């Protein structure tokens, strides 16, 4: 039996948040890298789909890789690399553009939301934002991944990846593995502390409701204590009616490991106490990550070495599969 292969990625469009950590990274660290052949990728090409500053993208890519290691990814167990270091992603992406339809792309929720926001500001939208889910599909399919551990917001993109894999295989013969999304049982969608109806996203302009992995303990406490709650006073887990309190309960459950959000609700009779315990639980979860990050920053050649070896392994895995896809669609193999 072949070993399960896992692929996931994180975009260097901003500093990593508690949402990235609880929704994705922690599961990679605790479970995925131990039970499967897991590849984790800093997907820097995806950061170019929106207006970007080249120096910042470069800095954030390195920081993301360093933070993934600081969070506990172990290069002896898994493969960590940077997307643009492996040409097969863009090589395969074009073939998948020839498999997908434009209507399919325009139906992607993230695309619709981001274009609406951008157009409202009178801005333009890069073509790559439309085709971005195809590149994401290429990221996954190039490695024959079986599982894709992601937060809630990526489910639709993984569904598209499945559709493209099935369609390609039907048209041109069996080349791709059809992957499936996996998600954490709690905190699959951490909400913004100031706006609990929208996702805690790393590139939002207003940072008051976003906890970054590198925030100092006092900053974390301030952000959590100032979280917007709801007009009620009793603590209940009701994501629809009381999204602010539900979000705090989810974060507390995920960080304390002390039970389900529904059960935790019963232990509190005030919002103040809930916020205080949540703040401390988050501070404790982030403490070792910050400490390890500081050590790794002092040793950049270690991080470079990990990324170099990671890219080399990734290339070796993707190359034959992407070659096969090229051949299957009718391209003449190099002579
Ligand atoms: P991104 O920051 O968009 O590159 O996302 C990297 C990973 O973190 C993806 O698996 C996302 O689904 C996950 N993620 C991002 N933001 C959140 C959030 N607020 N809650 C849960 N998961 C998230
Ligand atoms: N689109 C993902 C996000 O915004 C990042 C990503 C790119 C990804 N390629 C991927 C995630 C492949 C999983 C697998 O979060």
Residue 7 Cα to ligand 2 midpoint, Å, equals: 9
Q: CB of 149 closer than 6 A to ligand 1? A: no
Ligand 2 atom with the shortest distance to the CA of 153: 15
Determine the pLDDT at residue 1.
Answer: 64
Residue 330 Cα to ligand 1 midpoint, Å, equals: 37
pLDDT reading at 187 higher than 80: no
**Comparison of pLDDT for 184 and 12, the residue scoring more:** 12
Q: CB of 282 closer than 6 A to ligand 1? A: no
Residue 136 Cα to ligand 2 midpoint, Å, equals: 6
Ligand 1 pocket mutation, candidates 6, 12, 19, 32, criterion most atoms within 8 A of CB = 19
Q: Which ligand is nearest to the CA of 137?
A: 2
- Per domain, the residue ranges of the chain are 5-183+300-328, 217-294
Contact 253, 190 (CB under 8 A): no
What is the tens place of the pLDDT at every residue in 15-27?
999 999 999 999 9
Determine the pLDDT at residue 252.
Answer: 96
Q: Which ligand is nearest to the CA of 109?
A: 2
* Range 252-263 average pLDDT: 90
**Coil, strand or helix at 162:** helix
Domain 5-183+300-328, CATH among 3.40.50.970, 3.40.50.620, 3.30.470.10, 3.40.50.300 = 3.40.50.620
Determine the pLDDT at residue 334.
Answer: 86
Ligand 2 pocket, residues with Cβ under 6 angstroms = 7-9, 11, 43, 46, 136, 139-140, 148, 150, 154, 157
**Confidence category of residue 230, pLDDT binned at 50, 70, 90:** confident
Distances (CA, A) of 68 to 32, 98, 249: 13, 34, 25
**Confidence category of residue 205, pLDDT binned at 50, 70, 90:** confident
What is the tens place of the pLDDT at every residue in 126-169?
999 999 999 999 999 999 999 999 988 899 999 999 999 999 99
Average model confidence (pLDDT) across the chain? 95
Determine the pLDDT at residue 183.
Answer: 86
Determine the pLDDT at residue 233.
Answer: 79
Topology annotation, domain 217-294: Tyrosyl-Transfer RNA Synthetase (1.10.240)
What is the tens place of the pLDDT at every residue in 46-94?
999 999 999 999 999 999 999 999 999 999 999 999 999 999 999 999 9
Ligand 1 pocket mutation, candidates 7, 23, 61, criterion most atoms within 8 A of CB = 23
- What letters, b where the CB count within 10 A reaches 16 and e where it falls short, cover 62-87? bbbbbbbbbbbbebeebbbbbbbbbe
What is the percent of the chain with per-residue pLDDT over 90, rounded to a whole number? 90
Q: Is the dihedral angle over the CA atoms 249, 111, 71, 145 positive or is it negative?
A: positive
**Confidence category of residue 2, pLDDT binned at 50, 70, 90:** confident
**Confidence category of residue 209, pLDDT binned at 50, 70, 90:** very high
Residue 24 Cα to ligand 1 midpoint, Å, equals: 6
* Range 226-244 average pLDDT: 90
- R_g over Cα of the chain: 21
Ligand 2 atom with the shortest distance to the CA of 133: 1
Q: CB of 62 closer than 6 A to ligand 1? A: no
Ligand 1 atom with the shortest distance to the CA of 199: 19
Residue 8 Cα to ligand 1 midpoint, Å, equals: 11
Determine the pLDDT at residue 204.
Answer: 79
Model-wide pTM > 0.75: yes
Helix, strand, coil content of the chain in percent (nearest 5): 55, 10, 35
**What backbone torsions phi and psi does residue 309 show, to the nearest 5 degrees?**
-65, -35
Cβ neighbours for 268, distance < 8 A, ≥ 6 positions apart: 235, 274, 277
């Amino acid at each position: 039996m072949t070993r399960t292969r896992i692929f996931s990625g994180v975009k260097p469009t901003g500093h990593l948040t508690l949402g990235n950590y609880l929704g994705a990274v922690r599961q990679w660290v605790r479970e995925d890298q131990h039970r499967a052949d897991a590849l984790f990728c800093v997907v820097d090409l995806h950061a170019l789909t929106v207006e970007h500053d080249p120096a910042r993208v470069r800095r954030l890519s390195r920081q993301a890789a360093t933070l993934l290691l600081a969070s506990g990814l172990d290069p002896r167990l898994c493969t960590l690399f940077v997307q643009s270091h492996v040409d097969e992603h863009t090589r395969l992406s074009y073939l998948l553009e020839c498999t997908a339809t434009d209507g399919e792309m325009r139906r992607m929720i993230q695309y619709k939301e981001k274009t609406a926001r951008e157009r409202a500001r009178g801005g333009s939208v890069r073509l790559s934002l439309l085709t971005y889910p195809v590149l994401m599909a290429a990221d996954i399919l190039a490695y024959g991944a079986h599982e894709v551990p992601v937060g809630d917001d990526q489910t639709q993109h993984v569904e598209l990846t499945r559709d493209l894999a099935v369609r390609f295989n039907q048209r041109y013969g069996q080349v791709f593995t059809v992957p499936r999304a996996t998600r954490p049982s709690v905190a699959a969608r951490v909400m913004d502390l100031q706006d609990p109806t929208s996702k805690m996203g790393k590139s939002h302009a207003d940072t008051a409701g976003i906890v970054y992995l590198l925030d100092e303990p006092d900053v974390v406490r301030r952000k959590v204590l100032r979280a917007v709650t709801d007009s009620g006073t009793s603590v209940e887990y009701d994501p629809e009616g009381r999204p602010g309190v539900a979000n705090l309960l989810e974060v507390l459950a995920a960080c304390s490991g002390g039970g389900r959000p529904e059960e935790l609700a019963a232990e509190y009779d005030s919002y103040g106490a809930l916020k205080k315990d949540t703040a401390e639980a988050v501070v404790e979860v982030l403490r070792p990550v910050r400490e390890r990050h500081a050590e790794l920053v002092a040793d950049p050649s270690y991080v470079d070495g990990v990324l170099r070896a990671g890219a080399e392994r990734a290339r070796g895995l993707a190359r034959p599969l992407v070659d096969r896809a090229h051949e299957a669609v009718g391209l003449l193999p190099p002579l």
